Amino acid sequence: MVRKPNFEGENVRLVERRSQWTMLIDAFESAASGVGRLVLISGGPGSGKSELMHEFCAEAQRRGAHTMIATGSHTDHDRPLALIRQLIPGLSSDAGDVDVRDEALTTISTLALDQTVVIAIDDAYLMDGSSIDVFLHILRGTRNSPVLILGAHLEQTKLFAPEQLAEILRQPYRRIHLPLLTQDGVRTVVRDRLGVESSDVDTRFHSATGGNPMLVHALIDDTRSTDQVTEPTPAGSYRDSVLACLYRGERARLRIAREIAVLGASVTPDRVADLTGEHPTSVDSVVELLSAAGLLDGYQFRYGATAAVLMSDIDSDELSRMHLDIARLLYHEGEDTEHIAVHLHAADSAVEAWSQTVLERTAEHAIARDDVETAAQYLRLALRDCRDLETRQTLTVQLARVEWRMNPAAAGRRLALLERSALDGSLGGRDSATVVRNMLWRGDVDTSAEATTALDAGVAPENANSAAELEFVRQWFYGVSRATRTKDIKSIVALELAGRDIGGLWPRAAMLVSGVADDDAITSAAHALKTCRFDEMSLEVAATTLFVIAVSDRASTAVDLCDHLLGEATRRGGTTWEALLMAVRGEIAMLQGDIATAADLSTRALEQLGSEGWGVVIGLPLSTAILSRTITGDHVGAATLLTSVVPDSMYRTMFGARFLRARGHHFLATERAGAAINDFETCGQLLRSMNPAMQKLIPWRIDLAHANLWLGKSKAAGLLAEKQLSMQPGLGSRSRAVALRTLAASGSGELRQRATMLRESIDLFQDAGDRLGLARSLTDLAAIYYELGEFDRARAVARHGAEEARACNVEVALGVHLDVVPASIPESSDRAASPLSDAEARVASLASLGYTNREISKRIHVTISTVEQHLTRVYRKLGVRRRSELAAHLSPTTPIVIDSLSTPGALSTVEPL
């Protein structure tokens, strides 16, 4: 019986080799009958020639044959008779060639007298010349003997010289070819070894290996050691098999394969020939061989991991040399700079003059497609190897611009090296502006003023444009003009328009900030934001525009614009853009009363850049994060944020003013009114030193009024609110709305007058889109209606306030308006119906709301002892034992003074402006 090792599934390594096996068995049986025969087994590297030969020799042994096996090698290729001595170790060492041939033939013929002899030579194409002569002598002498000779060799290799081949063709002779496995064959192997039946998996393994049996099994060996057996996972076995396919052959094969791998997308037949020094015909032959082995598909590797294996096998210095040779060849051929730059970067060399230009141009292309990582890599390499000072300065600024998009801290350290050049005017206008912008970002306002003056002195139009834009950014950051100039923002607009037309973004932003915030101006600025090219946009100008639009009662418009820009920043990988826009979006959310969104975005913005990366601008997201936590009662979280490291220069900026008021509100919420007042007053002093247009953006007087209310200084609070109302209107209606609500809370005027103030503030908050401010004013108005005895109205307004507060994710204590207020007022109810005096009723109402005795004493300006005496009499008169029972026993007309600015658990006093 002929054993069938693979066809019933017991030897999966011989899948799709049925016909070849049958041909070998036929040849064996023919030899056993006394007809000597030669069988040559050919196939690509890894096609299974050795596997088939050794399996067949084992079968021949089982049939009683004597087997003799030898393997050709590069090492023995030049050693005479090396392979024959593997077959017949006892050959005489000092005999001549003729004697050796005869001795070898005699040995084989003697063995064949009693049994069939199978001689198997693996890698026969590596036989030494003397062994080939002996081999042919044996072939001729055993033509009528039971001898079968097998030779396994690679396709496209010359095993015999033409005259030798002519002689072989006159002998009993057969060729057996081993093709690559089909996808069905791969499926059989995958199913047997991985236990997976899936056409997708079969396709993946077949695509990765081309059906090369050795690679299929190696890839399966590696994949079996992972958790994902459905995805080919190349590792050690695959690496060894790939290298085995290439090392077991002519050395040119490995050299050509390596060059193809290193060339990558730039590969062409001529380039491979030039770089390896091989003839194009030889290169084509190797490519055909490796394609037949499933490694290549034309001049590209079938599987990316194969190229990676080859490149990892090359010495690092040699690999760098190869990349540099390729880059040089591509440059002289006029190839696209992007292909050249890939190899320069891989070679880690840009010493040659032409390489600087290549890397710089390629970096520009990378920036245009937002591949900032690649651009930075190329510019760093060019800068490192550049020796020309002027070129180094240009490269430094270019690299800093790229790094700024990802890491402002790194960009800042790089630009600091060019400050002297910016001051002496040796940098170009745009480059100098980049250096000054970094100075402003990190708080060096004085040096930046000098550098901007130097920039102003330039004659080029772009210098004027750059200086004007920097001046605008300075005023957003610091609220002041530089010392050498007295121009306000309107003057800056005029300067800008002298350089370019009004279609730009920042002139429109400057008009908004200067106070021209009508519908046309806002629409024009919004249009500019939408249509301005993102990569040409000054991020600081865009942020200012968004903020001014938001405070100008167009918060929803600002949200849409900001979300659009945020999406662009995220899509384009602008980490710094994304962080600053998140900070602005968080501030806009605060203006809308969306506290949860404000907290989330400001926190994420802080985390994205880190303290050093933010520079003085850290005050923007930090103040929003602190305020949002204070509003929601997370005082521990706010206190933690207050420990953040900030630059001292931040306190000279608009962002520092925001931070001071945020910290002040935290102090006020945690009963440190003195510290709060100090921060609010410091904030006011800072703002009063700034451009009046910028002062309108932060209502510090209202903050100070709230602190006075907390201390019970209602008159002082009212005066501050009146002062705010008397000033020239700021942007939007929010500042007036806040001032009106604060004035009403101070007790200024009769109840009806205060109700009128609150109703106006409600209208203004609605116009501004501020739901939190609306909730506060509604809560205060409900309290006024309660005191007026308009209980139904109080209940309705209180409910509305509660709904707005919940929409802002803020808890508010409104129970007194919803539960204590009776559904209807008894007709007999009057002041005499209450057994309590006015003072007792006042204390009782506050106690029923949850105030402590100390808080009540501060609220109505009496001693704690007096409060205790009043409560003792209240308990006795109403027959109650504890505070929680007071609300149910108070008369509906008991005078209750309720102010959401001070009600325990009610809305925070923080105003988001």
pLDDT tens string 15-48: 999 999 999 999 999 999 998 889 999 998 999 9
Say what the pLDDT of residue 589 is: 95
Residue 588's pLDDT band, with cuts at 50, 70 and 90, is very high
Convert the pLDDT of each residue in 176-210 to its tens digit: 999 999 999 999 999 999 988 888 899 999 999 99
Partners of 68 in the beta sheet? 119
* pLDDT for residue 2 is more than 50: no
Residue 573 · residue 595 · CB < 8 Å? no
Say what the pLDDT of residue 4 is: 45
* pLDDT for residue 170 is more than 90: no
* pLDDT for residue 504 is more than 70: no
Residue 536's pLDDT band, with cuts at 50, 70 and 90, is low
Instruction: Name the H helices within 72-182.
Output: 82-87, 97-112, 129-141, 162-168
Q: How far apart are CA 844 and CA 477, in angstroms?
A: 50
How far does CA 561 lie from the centroid of its chain?
Answer: 22
Lowest mean pLDDT across 23-37, 609-623, 804-818: 804-818
Element spanning 609, H or E: helix 595-614
Q: What are the Cα distances from residue 819, in Å, to 98, 263, 602, 674, 823?
A: 122, 81, 37, 36, 9
Say what the pLDDT of residue 904 is: 33
Say what the pLDDT of residue 278 is: 94
Residue 514's pLDDT band, with cuts at 50, 70 and 90, is low
Average pLDDT, the chain: 84
Say what the pLDDT of residue 898 is: 42
Say what the pLDDT of residue 551 is: 86
Residue 455 · residue 487 · CB < 8 Å? no
Residue 812's pLDDT band, with cuts at 50, 70 and 90, is low
| Coil, strand or helix at 770 | coil
Say what the pLDDT of residue 77 is: 80
Residue 583 · residue 602 · CB < 8 Å? yes
Q: How far apart are CA 99 and CA 94, in angstroms?
A: 9
* pLDDT for residue 850 is more than 70: no
Question: Which value, in Å, is the radius of gyration of the alpha carbons in the chain?
Answer: 44
Residue 850 · residue 905 · CB < 8 Å? yes
Residue 10's pLDDT band, with cuts at 50, 70 and 90, is very low
- Averaged over 129-135, what is the pLDDT? 88
Q: How far apart are CA 204 and CA 183, in angstroms?
A: 10
* pLDDT for residue 697 is more than 70: yes
Q: How far apart are CA 502 and CA 179, in angstroms?
A: 72
Q: How far apart are CA 761 and CA 70, in angstroms?
A: 101
| Coil, strand or helix at 43 | strand
Q: How far apart are CA 563 and CA 138, in angstroms?
A: 85
DSSP code at position 351:
-
* pLDDT for residue 861 is more than 50: yes
What is the β-pairing status of strands 296-297 and 300-301?
A: antiparallel
Q: How far apart are CA 808 and CA 776, in angstroms?
A: 11
- How many other CB atoms are found less than 10 A from the CB of residue 730? 22
Q: How far apart are CA 310 and CA 329, in angstroms?
A: 21
Convert the pLDDT of each residue in 323-357 to its tens digit: 999 999 999 999 999 999 999 999 999 999 899 99
∠ Cα 250 254 257 (to 5°): 130
Lowest mean pLDDT across 748-752, 815-819, 867-871: 815-819
Which domains, ranges and CATH numbers included, belong to the chain?
A: 12-179 (3.40.50.300), 184-233 (no CATH), 699-833 (1.25.40.10), 835-890 (1.10.10.10)
- Averaged over 577-582, what is the pLDDT? 95
Residue 230 · residue 201 · CB < 8 Å? yes
Q: How far apart are CA 505 and CA 541, in angstroms?
A: 8
* pLDDT for residue 831 is more than 60: no
Instruction: Name the H helices within 424-554.
Output: 429-442, 445-456, 461-478, 489-499, 505-513, 519-531, 539-551
- Averaged over 527-542, what is the pLDDT? 75
